[in-house]
């Protein structure tokens, strides 16, 4: 009996001792940043999940060019300057000199640029970025600090999204060759403001400041990226002081952002969420009917109902400050009056909306079901029945691809380059990811022309025309870009990209 008592006593003492140590013992020089899931790879050529992989890669690597912090404007990074040939197919970069790779992997030279890009387009690379470099034929090393990209034809997206994003990040040739691709993916060597330190069993990724960084170094000595897939856990960890930057849920955004210890902001996501009409199938192959639906479906109600009124309405696939933005006219029911819509329905062959029954395919999660229910309600005011089918991803994609639906709701991730974002509506995507099942030769030609020019005015012009074509045919309704809702402790002052992605090396201490 006595012996047992001592064991209990011992256990209790140990537990109490444990309690005495201060949790959240984050050092002042270290920042904990939550990412929404496990980073899947740190090899820029194989980026999988933008939200988790990109902020880490972006801290470790540099590209030849980068987005100027807080904007999508492209400025030099590892390149000093560049020259573009008459026919836009040869681009010669002068590189900055004396920049060192992390951990003693030597100086950054033209060879690393050649290696980084050519490994992506290599036959056996199987890199999802191959299409980011679609027209790249080869890279020529002129001398140690001069490198030339040789293209088969001009490439519109080269400077807008390929070079400043992950495909354009420069890896150490020596490191990849020494380690092999698999090991490199979890031991990245770049030139960036932070050096990779550790990827632990909990999938936390620790980076240490690069004290030899070629630009102004980071203020914080250590950054830890912590994957937290549960949004509520992120909010709680932020409040208990265990993370310094995280995302809020829309439900708790107001409450937490008003607290003294925290600051928060709403950014638009770089994605597009939309209602798509299946234009190739009865009854929505009828343009009059689609127009009527554009009046009946009210995205503002969706924003309030499903996004707590926090998300902005989207009027284009693109964000407002991107090349080629064109604001699609808003079809507002209160502007034309209900009679106008009843007439449209009658003209379309459905007077009083009678006998109209539409199939609606959506994801089986709460938010999407809610959006479906809101649309169902809106349509019911015009006697139109909507059958909602909430499906798992697999069956949903099957239905998308064989076109067995009338209306669907989708979210597509975008890049800064419009060409990428507009490609899903091309004729060649029919049966794949063209959810409107819409084919327009003029649209295809305009897209192709914009893809193969570096003239941003021409590109902008074409993308505007393409959006007008989509609008004229009333193939769907842009709803929102979605939101990112970063929150952080008031002791720090973070910098974000226009779509709300943290730039960790620019975080400063707001108390100094």
Partner 1 sequence: MFIYITKRLLWVIPTILTVLLLLFSLSYLLPGDPADIILGPRATPEMAAELESRLGLDNPWYQSYLIYLQNIIKGDLGTSIFRDRSVLKVILDVLPYTVILTLAGMGLAVFNGISIGLLAANYNNSYFEKFLTMLSFITASTPTYIAGVLLIVVFSVNFNLLPSIGIGDGGLLDSIHHLIGPALALSVGWTGYIARLTRSSMLETLDQEFIQTEKSFGIPRYYILYKYALKKAIKPIIAVIGLGIGRLLGGAVFVEVIFNRPGLGRLIVDSVNERDLPLVRGGVLVAALLFVVANLIADISYAYFDPRIKQK
**Contact set with partner 1 (CB under 8 A):** 1, 14-15, 17-19, 21, 23-24, 37-38, 40-41, 48, 126, 128, 130-131, 182, 185, 201-204, 226-230, 232-233, 236-237, 239-243, 392-398, 401, 412, 424, 432-433
Q: Where are the beta strands (DSSP E) in 187-337?
A: 194-199, 205-209, 222-227, 245-247, 262-264, 267-268, 271-277
Our CB check for partner 1 shows the closer of 124 and 354 to be 124
Q: What are phi and psi of 279, to 5 degrees?
A: -85, 0
**Beta carbons within 8 Å of 174's beta carbon, 6+ residues apart:** 101, 105, 106
Nearest-approach distance from CB 295 to partner 1, in angstroms = 31
Structure tokens at 486: 């970063």
Nearest-approach distance from CB 52 to partner 1, in angstroms = 11
Nearest-approach distance from CB 393 to partner 1, in angstroms = 5
How far apart are the C-alpha atoms of 298 and 379, rounded to whole Å? 10
- The total of other beta-carbon atoms located within 10 Å of residue 496's CB is 18
Our CB check for partner 1 shows the closer of 199 and 267 to be 199
Nearest-approach distance from CB 451 to partner 1, in angstroms = 17
Nearest-approach distance from CB 296 to partner 1, in angstroms = 29
Alpha helices in 320-423 (DSSP H): 333-336, 338-347, 366-380, 393-402, 418-422
Q: Which of 195, 255, 236 is nearest to 59 (CA)?
A: 195
Nearest-approach distance from CB 181 to partner 1, in angstroms = 8
How far apart are the C-alpha atoms of 450 and 423, rounded to whole Å? 11
Q: Is 363 helix (H, G, I), strand (E, B) or coil?
A: strand
Each as own residue / partner, the long-range contacts of residues 318-323 (CB below 8 Å, 24 or more positions apart, any chain) are 318/414, 318/418, 318/421, 318/463, 319/268, 319/270, 319/481, 319/498, 319/499, 321/71, 321/72, 321/498, 322/72, 322/416, 322/418, 323/160, 323/418, 323/456, 323/459, 323/460, 323/463
Per-residue DSSP letters for 282-302? TTTT-HHHHHHHHHH--HHHH
Residue 81 exposed, middle or buried by CB count within 10 Å (0-12, 13-18, 19+): exposed
How far apart are the C-alpha atoms of 453 and 442, rounded to whole Å? 17
Nearest-approach distance from CB 19 to partner 1, in angstroms = 6
Q: Which residues pair with 486 in a beta bridge?
A: 247
**470, containing H or E segment:** helix 456-472
Nearest-approach distance from CB 349 to partner 1, in angstroms = 35
Our CB check for partner 1 shows the closer of 126 and 404 to be 126
**Beta carbons within 8 Å of 6's beta carbon, 6+ residues apart:** none
Our CB check for partner 1 shows the closer of 352 and 398 to be 398
Nearest-approach distance from CB 333 to partner 1, in angstroms = 33
Our CB check for partner 1 shows the closer of 153 and 240 to be 240
Nearest-approach distance from CB 201 to partner 1, in angstroms = 5
Nearest-approach distance from CB 432 to partner 1, in angstroms = 8
Our CB check for partner 1 shows the closer of 40 and 387 to be 40
Our CB check for partner 1 shows the closer of 100 and 131 to be 131
Put residue 237 in one of left, alpha, beta given phi > 0 → left and psi -120 to 50 → alpha. alpha
Structure tokens at 476: 């769907």
Nearest-approach distance from CB 140 to partner 1, in angstroms = 26
Q: Is 158 helix (H, G, I), strand (E, B) or coil?
A: helix
How far apart are the C-alpha atoms of 150 and 113, rounded to whole Å? 13
Structure tokens at 25: 């013992």
Structure tokens at 52: 């988790």
Nearest-approach distance from CB 364 to partner 1, in angstroms = 12
Are the CB atoms for 182 and 144 separated by under 8 Å?
no
Structure tokens at 120: 């992506």
Our CB check for partner 1 shows the closer of 148 and 396 to be 396
Our CB check for partner 1 shows the closer of 253 and 295 to be 253
């Amino acid at each position: 009996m006595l012996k047992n008592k001592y064991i209990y006593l011992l256990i209790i003492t140990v537990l109490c001792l444990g309690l005495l140590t201060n949790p959240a013992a984050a050092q002042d020089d270290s920042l904990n940043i939550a990412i929404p899931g496990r980073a899947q790879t740190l090899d820029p050529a194989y980026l999988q999940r933008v939200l988790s992989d990109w902020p880490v890669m972006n801290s470790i690597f540099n590209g030849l060019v980068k987005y100027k912090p807080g904007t999508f404007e492209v400025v030099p990074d590892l390149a000093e300057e560049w020259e573009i040939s008459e026919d836009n197919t040869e681009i010669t970069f002068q590189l900055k000199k004396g920049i060192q790779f992390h951990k003693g992997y030597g100086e950054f030279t033209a060879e690393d640029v050649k290696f980084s890009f050519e490994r992506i387009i290599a036959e056996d690379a199987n890199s999802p970025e191959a299409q980011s470099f679609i027209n790249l034929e080869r890279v020529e090393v002129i001398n140690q600090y001069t490198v030339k990209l040789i293209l088969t034809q001009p490439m519109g997206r080269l400077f807008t999204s390929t070079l400043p994003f992950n495909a354009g990040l420069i890896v150490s040739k020596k490191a990849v060759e020494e380690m092999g691709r698999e090991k490199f993916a979890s031991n990245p060597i770049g030139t960036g403001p932070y050096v990779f330190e550790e990827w632990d069993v909990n999938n936390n990724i620790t980076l240490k400041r690069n004290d030899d960084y070629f630009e102004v170094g980071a203020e914080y000595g250590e950054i830890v990226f912590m994957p937290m897939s549960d949004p509520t856990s992120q909010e709680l960890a932020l409040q208990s002081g265990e993370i310094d930057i995280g995302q809020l849920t829309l439900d708790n955004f107001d409450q937490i952002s008003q607290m003294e210890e925290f600051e928060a902001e709403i950014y638009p996501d770089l994605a597009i969420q939309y209602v798509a009409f299946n234009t190739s199938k009865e009854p929505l192959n009828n343009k009059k009917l689609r127009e009527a639906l554009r009046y009946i479906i009210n995205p503002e109600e969706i924003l309030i109902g499903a996004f707590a009124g926090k998300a902005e309405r989207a009027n284009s696939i693109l964000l407002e400050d991107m090349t080629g933005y064109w604001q699609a006219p808003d079809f507002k029911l209160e502007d034309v009056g209900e009679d106008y819509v009843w007439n449209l329905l009658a003209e379309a062959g459905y007077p009083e909306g009678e006998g109209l029954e539409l199939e609606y395919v959506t994801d089986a999660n709460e938010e999407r079901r809610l959006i479906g229910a809101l649309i169902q309600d809106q349509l019911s005011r015009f006697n139109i029945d909507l059958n909602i089918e909430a499906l798992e991803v697999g069956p949903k994609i099957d239905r998308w691809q064989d076109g067995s639906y009338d209306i669907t709701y989708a979210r597509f991730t975008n890049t800064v380059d419009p060409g990428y974002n507009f490609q899903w509506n091309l004729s060649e995507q029919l049966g794949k990811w063209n959810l409107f099942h819409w084919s327009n030769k003029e649209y295809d030609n305009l897209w192709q022309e914009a893809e193969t020019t570096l003239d941003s005015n021409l590109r902008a012009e074409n993308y505007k025309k393409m959006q007008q074509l989509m609008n004229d045919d009333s193939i769907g309704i842009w709803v929102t870009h979605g939101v990112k809702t970063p929150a952080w402790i008031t002791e720090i002052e973070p910098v974000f990209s226009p779509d709300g992605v943290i730039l960790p090396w620019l975080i400063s201490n707001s108390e100094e």
